[in-house]
Structure 1
Amino acid sequence: MQSIPVDITRLGTMTCIVAPEVRLANRETGEVKTNREGVPVYTVGVAVRQEGRRASIIEISVNGEPVGVAEGVRVTVTGLVAFSWAMGDRHGMSFRADSITPAPPVTPPATTVPASRKGGDA
């Protein structure tokens, strides 16, 4: 399976819509999927919205539980790669990231109040 690096600077706003869930290797036994170092793998549902376009939803796998990531939280994704896959007549894309963290808060631009509207002598 070939990995395809994703330019996250072109993805726009990213928001967690499904909180991190541990990924299962075996649903019947409840065995948790781990990476080579034994760290549990988590999956996070993320809505991606570019300016003026509708949102796409992708599930991103990440090693370890993303701290502070919950539904409705804007997130920053680093090291995002895509993988194409095919199994029989099914095919698709899967995504993996180095990390998913809460995005820093957006500070609205400062507004200036015209001198004539500021309080003062009437």
Structure 2
Amino acid sequence: MQSIPVDTARLGTMTCIVAPEVRLANRETGEVRTTREGVPVYTVGVAVRQEGRRASIIEVSVNGEPAGITEGTRVTLTGLVAFSWAMGDRHGLSFRAESITPAPTAPAATPAGRKGAEA
């Protein structure tokens, strides 16, 4: 598998559209996929939208359950990497991130002429 680092600064707006779900290694038995260290792997559905373009939806894997991520949350992906894969006639890209966190929110604007809290 070839890994491709992704420059998230160029991706635009990223929003969780499918809350974190544990990834299964075996759907029949319900066995959870884990890392070598035994940490469960989660997947998060993320909508990526660049300015003036249509949104793309990617499914991102991450080690451990991302805290504070729910549907509709703007997110930040750290250490995002794409992997190309092929199985027989099928091929595509999968995505993995070091972490998925809520995006920082912009501070609320203060009305003009007001310089801070009144005493």
1:23-81 Cα offsets, whole Å, 9 max, x none, are 00000000000011110000000000111111100000000000000000000100000
Q: How does 1:97-116 map to 2 (within 5 A)?
A: 97-107=97-107, 109=109, 112=112
Distance in 2, matches of 1:95 and 1:66, equals 15
Q: Which amino acid aligns with 2:66?
A: P
The SS at the match of 2:20 is: strand
Higher-Rg structure is: 1
Q: Which amino acid aligns with 2:106?
A: V
Cα displacement (A) at 1:106:
2.3
Distance in 2, matches of 1:36 and 1:109, equals 46
Distance in 2, matches of 1:28 and 1:66, equals 25
| Runs of 4 or more above 2 Å deviation | 106-113
Unaligned runs of 5+ in 1: 114-122
TM-score by length of 2: 0.90
Cα displacement (A) at 1:111:
5.4
Residue 9 (structure 2) pairs with residue 9 (structure 1): yes
Q: How does 1:1-122 map to 2 (within 5 A)?
A: 1-107=1-107, 109=109, 112=112
TM-score by length of 1: 0.88
Distance in 2, matches of 1:35 and 1:106, equals 35
Unaligned runs of 5+ in 2: 114-119
Q: Indicate the residue corresponding to 2:116 in structure 1.
A: none
| CA root-mean-square deviation | 1.2
Cα displacement (A) at 1:99:
0.1
Distance in 2, matches of 1:74 and 1:109, equals 19
